[in-house]
Chains A and B, each alone.
Chain A
Amino acid sequence: MSDVPSAGLTSWLTTTDHKRIGTLYFWTAFVFFLVGGLEALIIRAQLAQPDGTLVSAETYNQLFTMHGTTMVFLALMPLSAAFFNWIIPLQIGARDVAFPRLNAFSYWVFLLGGLFMNASFLFGAAPDGGWFGYVNLTGRQYSPGLNIDFWVLGLQILGIASLAAGFNFIVTILNLRAPGLTMMRLPVFSWMTLVTQFLVITAFPVITVALVLLLFDRTFGTNFYVPAAGGDPVLWQHLFWIFGHPEVYILILPAMGIVSEVLPTFSRKPLFGYTVVVYSGVLIGFMGWGVWSHHMFSVGLGPIADSFFAAATMLIAIPTGVKIFNWIATMWGGQIRFATAMKFAVAFISMFIIGGLSGVTHASPPTDLQQTDTYYVVAHFHYVLFGGTVLGLFAGMYYWMPKITGRLFSERLGSWHFWLTFIGMNLTFFPMHFIGMLGMPRRIYTYGPELGLSTMNLVSTIGAFTIGLGTLVFVYNLWRTRRHGEPAGPDPWGGATLEWSIPSPPPPHNFDAIPTVGSRLPRWSTAHPVTTGMPEPHPRVPPGSWWPLVAAAGLPIMATAVVAKMLILAFAGAAVLVIGIYRWAYEPFEV
């Protein structure tokens, strides 16, 4: 133990403790989740009636762009990252992640990237090209303002955070597992995290390249995407979706991992078909690379390409379906206890089935020609990303946050939160299937009464505000739990995995002695229980460091150089980054 400050602002700014970084990720991402949710509520308020006048077309376009961008990059990915940080080292029996300072760097880059992107609101120039940023609309000719520059640079910064975290967690999971914790004994959440991080380190370079080309087009007058100069706008679509489809799995696989932990615990049964669930997760990771053009069926890529991507997309439904059957079989014959975490996990399965089935209907290119870019697609991916990812993340919060905070959520408030969210999301998104099939495109700030869709849109808006109410209940529950939550104890749910063998909250060094694992469910196994050696008298934990924060600060300064058109800032930012990394590299740092 060294002189790591344990309280006060400095302790948070310099922390390299994975649990504290997880908490930073959680609160930051949760605030962005509220911001993205607020944007959604304004969108729904505008669409509550035909010919809505609450916001202008310009504002509306910024709102839906920032709603998508925020939810994907600033809320759901980093909320998953909060769980990676909190849980992975505990689940694999490690004292921290492999690179604690890089971990802090990832967080600070994420925070600063998110702030940079949202600073655009202060200049009235929030991104307005959609989260998919299709060129040539986002090229300089048609979007001359700073809006798209904020978006491009913000995403570049966030990509660095994701890449650094990706490498960190891959190395952590592969190298820091406790003795006896073989890969095929690894908890499914850790497995899905590993697959997710491989997708991150392979997919983010693609979007990085796409964004660099767009940045060059916009800033230096290159013509990668400019049709008049022989460039091709469709190139952007390919690059974006080669990233974008794996990104969908980056968003859903962690939630699938969470649910795969929650279901066995609350059913008192091991996960049914562990091997198949793991391999289907890996398979989804691979197949996720071969389906990107199903986002582009209306582009006119020709019948051969359409047929190939239709077949590939349908194939990916198989491992996904297998997971669902295995989850249901896990509950079959169990003693199911409906704590709030379990309610969210079961709702995850039931909503994900709907999202998966509507997905099959637009895996077929001809039917997709009627569905793409309509509210039907909005319904589909919200059943996957809200019904799937968000409900899965809530399940994870009720399941694991007692481990981190040491206090249990109120189950009564949790139940209110669950039912308001569950009913609200179905009110919001189910009518959208019909709204889309009856002819309402996405991304329109207004629609006429002649479409006959006014009532359904109003229902959807009421649903959205119901979700908002549910979220307020959760916020209150979070706040209340800090003071009044029941002490959780080390293992409130009777979990099978290592994190439940240590106190809640865990000490800075996590494990007094690194355990030895002899089975897949170490805490349930009577044949192969966890064994621990003598506690180490002075388990070492990483000391704090300022340098990750300093290095991270260089990136938004460099990005500001582009929007402010001040070259000197680019050099200043680069200098801060280099000095930060240099001092970091030569800092005495013992673990």
Chain B
Amino acid sequence: MSKNRYWLSLIALGALACAGEYPQSTFHPTSDFAGQLNGLFRGIFWWALGVFVVVEGILLFAILRFRRRDGGPEPRQVHGHTALEIGWTVAPALILVFIAVPTIRTIFRSTGEPPAGALHVEVIGHQWWWEFRYPELGITTANELWVPTGRPVALAMTTADVIHSFWVPKLAGKRDVIAGRVNRIAFTADSVGEFLGQCAEYCGESHANMRLRVVVAPDSGFRAWAVRQGAAPAPLDSGSVAWQGRQVFARSACIGCHTMEDVPVARAQIGPNLSHVGSRTTIGGGVFPNDTDHLRRWVADAPAMKPGSLMPPMVLSDADLDAIVAYLQSRQ
């Protein structure tokens, strides 16, 4: 516990240092992949800015210089100029060569093929949350993707329903997740911190509420996290509030959609895996903080907080709600 706190506070500090004012900025890449995209954009941007200044400048000059003057002569009736026209056909073509070559080079450098020694993660989009599975580590989590710095991460991405698009601007350009297909991206994060992202392909009512965060930890911090996530569920004192919560959970609709490791009947995969839900910082697709108040309201009536949420309102007594919340929070 204390070790996890230590890493979290370190990461929070890192997040403060590098998140800046714009946590989803594409101009502040913190991975090789996002860096390549930003570098290419900068190259194209300067060309575009140059063209913009020259052409708008000529336009502005023309409309100021050639305003009609009283008694001005009838303008010379020029119909064209072959050399000029060839010139302004060739000039843009040349500029485009300088854009096309690095473009195609970058396309082939960022195909998303998994690099050697990469950490493999399966990403599954759902209406409206993200599922992350670490097949090598046996971990399944939601909306918060933990990765280590300095090690390539290879994402294999698909969807459980409609098309979504995985986008964490500081780490990776977007890739759509499409039923029946697996799309890949790979990146190596270079800074510790917490990086925000969200679904970028319109996917229905709560598209705006399909957010995620990537926690980039030092290698040791990542391993500590993985150990906790892979550990057996913490036992509960018989009769404690959390223990009562588990009883309520096991006999409620929860088990129809969620997996919970210490509730044998809860093995469904429609909603997020809740075995370590208490360790996550957010709920509801990365939208709300994972605190007692929000968690309680969420369990009671999720669609009231998140329009269209597929989790129906739960008809539970106040005592049962308190118990379930205590139980969920105990699942670290």
By a beta-carbon cutoff of 8 Å, the part of chain A in contact with chain B is 56-58, 61, 130, 134, 136-137, 142, 227-228, 232-234, 267-270, 272-276, 298-300, 302-303, 306-307, 310-311, 314-315, 317-318, 321-322, 324-326, 328-329, 331-338, 346, 349-350, 353-354, 357-358, 360-361, 363-367, 369-374, 437-447, 450-453, 524
Contact = CB atoms under 8 A, between A and B. Distances in A.
Given A270-B79, A273-B85, A298 B174 contact: yes
Given A335-B69, A373-B165, A57 B307 contact: yes
Contact of A318 (B44, B96, B163, B178): B96
A453 B104 CA distance: 32
B205 A58 contact: yes
A450 B24 CA distance: 9
A444 to B, nearest CB: 3
Given A232-B180, A321-B92, A335-B68, A441 B107 contact: no
B78 A361 contact: no
Nearest to B87: A325
A369 B31 CA distance: 15
B198 to A, nearest CB: 6
A441 B63 CA distance: 38
Given A336-B68, A350-B56, A366-B37, A268 B178 contact: no
Contact of B204 (A142, A369, A370): A142
Contacts of A267: 66, 75
A276 B207 contact: no
B161 A142 contact: yes
Contact of B26 (A134, A303, A370): A370
30 contacts: A57-B307, A61-B204, A61-B207, A134-B162, A137-B202, A227-B178, A232-B180, A233-B178, A272-B78, A273-B85, A299-B176, A300-B175, A310-B100, A322-B85, A332-B66, A357-B48, A364-B106, A366-B40, A366-B110, A369-B173, A369-B175, A370-B26, A370-B37, A439-B26, A439-B169, A441-B200, A443-B202, A443-B207, A444-B198, A444-B207
A453 to B, nearest CB: 8
Interface in B163-221: 163, 165, 167, 169, 173-176, 178-181, 183-184, 196, 198-209
Contacts of A437: 25-27
B16 interface: no
B116 interface: no
Nearest to A61: B205
A441 B85 CA distance: 40
Contact of A444 (B62, B89, B175, B208): B208
Interface string B100-122: 10011011101110000000000
Given A267-B75, A307-B104, A372 B200 contact: yes
A357 B173 contact: no
Nearest to A333: B75
B162 A137 contact: yes
Given A275-B80, A318-B92, A438-B26, A332 B62 contact: yes
Closest 10 CB pairs of A and B: A439-B24, A369-B173, A444-B208, A227-B179, A57-B307, A273-B80, A227-B180, A300-B183, A364-B103, A325-B88
Contacts of B308: 57-58
Contacts of B80: 272-276
A227 B204 CA distance: 18
Contacts of A326: 85
Nearest to B84: A329
Contacts of B307: 56-58
A269 B203 CA distance: 52
A353 B52 contact: yes
A310 B103 contact: yes
Contacts of A233: 163, 178-180
A373 B162 contact: no
Contacts of B167: 373, 441
B72 interface: yes
Nearest to A276: B85
B315 interface: no
Nearest to B203: A137
A372 B174 contact: yes
Interface in B41-74: 41, 44-45, 47-48, 51-52, 55-56, 58-59, 62-63, 66-69, 72, 74
A275 B67 CA distance: 26
Contact of A438 (B25, B45, B203): B25
Contacts of B106: 364, 366
Nearest to B26: A370
